Structure 1
Amino acid sequence: MHKQIFVNLPCKNLPASKAFFEAMGYSFNPQFTNDLGAALVLGDNLYAMLLAEDFAKTFTGKPLVDAKAATEVLVCLSCESRDEVDQLVAKARAAGGSVPREPQDHGFMYGHGFEDLDGHIWELVHMTGTPPQG
């Protein structure tokens, strides 16, 4: 099966996007980072490739979605605790991201999220059990 995942996200201003995620405490893999793209390390073998818009266009014949106007993908990351969820949302807000909705507590799962500088939606969840059957 698969050993890594690279989610590719176009960015209008790659240096600003890198600074945003660095302010949240994330780092970049220098092996896959240059002026055209940056490999945001999300976990072991989990990456988001932040791509300069013109470079991202070379991967597809379709127009890129303006993530501030439409949603193409929702990135969801698991967290170790509710506190980690809340801390990451607070860091995103402090770094210039937006928080478009309130946290959601479903009993077995707590979630909240943010939009990065380009409008990409990042959902953060902490699972505390299994969903109810029925």
Structure 2
Amino acid sequence: MSKLIFVNLPVTDLARSTAFYEAVSFTKNPKFSNEQASCMVWSDTIHFMLLRHDFWKTFTDKQIVDAPKGAQVLLCLTRDSRDEVDAMVAQAGAAGGALDPTPVQDMGFMYGRSFEDPDGHIFEISWMDPQMAAEGPPAEAMA
């Protein structure tokens, strides 16, 4: 079996969040979804579990971070081109997400933008020149 990652996110409105993630190119896996959670598939190995707050609380006693006011994690997803980065961010905006809560990054060989989902979770969407991804960035970019 391949190594998988499941990112668990607490959400206030499961239906709204599910619709948002579908609007930005995720696919819902009904086999692992119910009235408490939606399994949203990004790739064969990356899944996001959207969990209603009451269900989330069955996994931990820690307080749920108020994502619009504080950040605990920035999630980065890659796309195959700059245009795909812009398109996904535009889809997020059309679905009710907040656009570019973090600065746009354009280093020539790497390009990134961001959005917040309806619960305030920040996603960075990025593209990197395939040659730079294989060889590493130019020395001046690391200075």
Q: Give the TM-score of the pair, scaled to structure 2.
A: 0.88
User: Is it true that 1:126 corresponds to 2:132 in the alignment?
Assistant: no
Q: What's 2:73 paired with?
A: 73
Q: After alignment, is 86-95 or 106-115 more displaced?
A: 106-115
Quote the Cα distance in structure 2 between the aligned partners of 1:48 and 1:75: 11
Offset at 1:23? 2.0
Report the residue type matching 1:91 in the other structure. Q
Aligned residues between the structures: 134
Quote the Cα distance in structure 2 between the aligned partners of 1:68 and 1:47: 22
Q: What's 2:3 paired with?
A: 3
Deviations 1:53-85 (A, max 9, x none): 110111111111011111011110111111110
Quote the Cα distance in structure 2 between the aligned partners of 1:25 and 1:98: 17
Quote the Cα distance in structure 1 between the aligned partners of 2:88 and 2:118: 15
Offset at 1:89? 0.1
Offset at 1:96? 0.3
Deviations 1:78-126 (A, max 9, x none): 1111111000000000000001245210122100010000000000110
- Structure 1, unmatched stretches of 5+, are none
Quote the Cα distance in structure 2 between the aligned partners of 1:112 and 1:50: 22
Moved over 6 A (4+): none
Report the residue type matching 1:11 in the other structure. V
Structure with higher Rg: it is: 2
Q: What's 1:51 paired with?
A: 51
Residues 1-134 of structure 1: pairs in structure 2 closer than 5 A: 3-99=3-99, 100-128=101-129, 129=132, 130-133=136-139
Offset at 1:2? 6.4
- Structure 2, unmatched stretches of 5+, are none
Report the residue type matching 1:132 in the other structure. P
Offset at 1:132? 2.4
Quote the Cα distance in structure 1 between the aligned partners of 2:76 and 2:102: 15
